[in-house]
Amino acid sequence: RRSVKYISTGVKALDELLGGGIETRAITELVGEFGVGKTQLCHQLAVMVQLPEDKGGLRGKALYVDTENTFRPERVVQIAKYRGLDPQEALRNILYARAYNSDHQMIIVDEAKKIIDSEGIRLIVIDSLVAHFRAEYPGRENLAERQQKLNHFIGQLLRIADLYNIAVVFTNQVIAQPDVFFGNPQKPAGGNVVAHGATYRLWLRKSKENTRIAKIFDSPMHPEKEALFRIAEEGLLD
Ligand code: GTP
Ligand code: MG
């Protein structure tokens, strides 16, 4: 596709796995169990996007939509320092929005359209995509409405990514499948709506200590390769 660009994750192995990094005009999903590093990667990308193109960035700002109150400015400072950026400037280049419920989450993104070009936003982070929706529309009786709203929101994200040539990254939770006896006992939340909405789906899992393993799933275009990285003081590293 014409004019697609990439934001480096800051991890060579992960960039290679993704075919160059996080793509613009696309939605990349980060899924995995608690503590696996989804939020850490979001922080890292919000810094990486600010770097000049020869260092893997797009010299752009990030819009960070935080639904779980897990954004940590001090973490941005650590990562920015390691990447050679002024920490305070790096923080200013992350437009932070706390989303208090699913409607608010959708309004933030809708309103953001007005400032994407003027502010130079090249990355939108939604951490997490599904948490509010799952809390507000629990159980089977609300499933149809929840999925319909989620579908609307993902459609909105995809249009924005395409129209403004920016990258969209969202995190997703895993849910246990107690009724399966073989294969993967976990699956991503959000069902078909999220599965079809995400352009790239990155599954993260824990390995020893701070080591993590990433794999692209649900993609016929990507080989069943894996990438290793670790979470350190300086952020995510090879
Ligand atoms: P949920 O949102 O709960 O689903 O998890 P998550 O996937 O977002 O996990 P998160 O990104 O919050 O990762 C937390 C993990 O990152 C911790 O368990 C630590 O292993 C690691 N981590 C966070 N900060 C640091 C740090 O400053 N140094 C190091 N070495 N590791 C860190
Ligand atoms: Mg998190």
Q: What's the ipTM?
A: 0.98
E strands in the chain: 6-7, 22-23, 26-31, 61-66, 94-98, 121-127, 167-172, 174-176, 186-188, 200-206, 211-217, 226-232, 235-237
Pocket lining: 39 vs ligand 1, CB cutoff 6 Å: yes
Q: How far apart are CA 71 and CA 147, in angstroms?
A: 26
Residue whose CB lies within 8 A of the most ligand 1 atoms, among 30, 39, 206, 207, for a mutation test: 39
Q: How far apart are CA 44 and CA 197, in angstroms?
A: 23
Read out DSSP for 45-71?
A: HHHHTTS-GGGT--S-EEEEEESSS--
Distance 33 CA to ligand 2 centre (A): 9
Task: Note whether 200 and 27 are within 8 A (CB).
Answer: yes
For atom 15 of ligand 1, the residue with the nearest CA is 35
Pocket lining: 142 vs ligand 1, CB cutoff 6 Å: no
The model's pTM is 0.97
Per-10-residue mean pLDDT, the chain, length 238: 90 97 98 97 99 98 98 98 98 98 98 97 98 96 97 98 98 84 82 96 97 92 88 98
Residue whose CB lies within 8 A of the most ligand 1 atoms, among 33, 38, 40, 211, for a mutation test: 40
Q: Tokens standing for 115? A: 């400032």
The helix (H) or strand (E) run that includes residue 132 is: helix 131-136
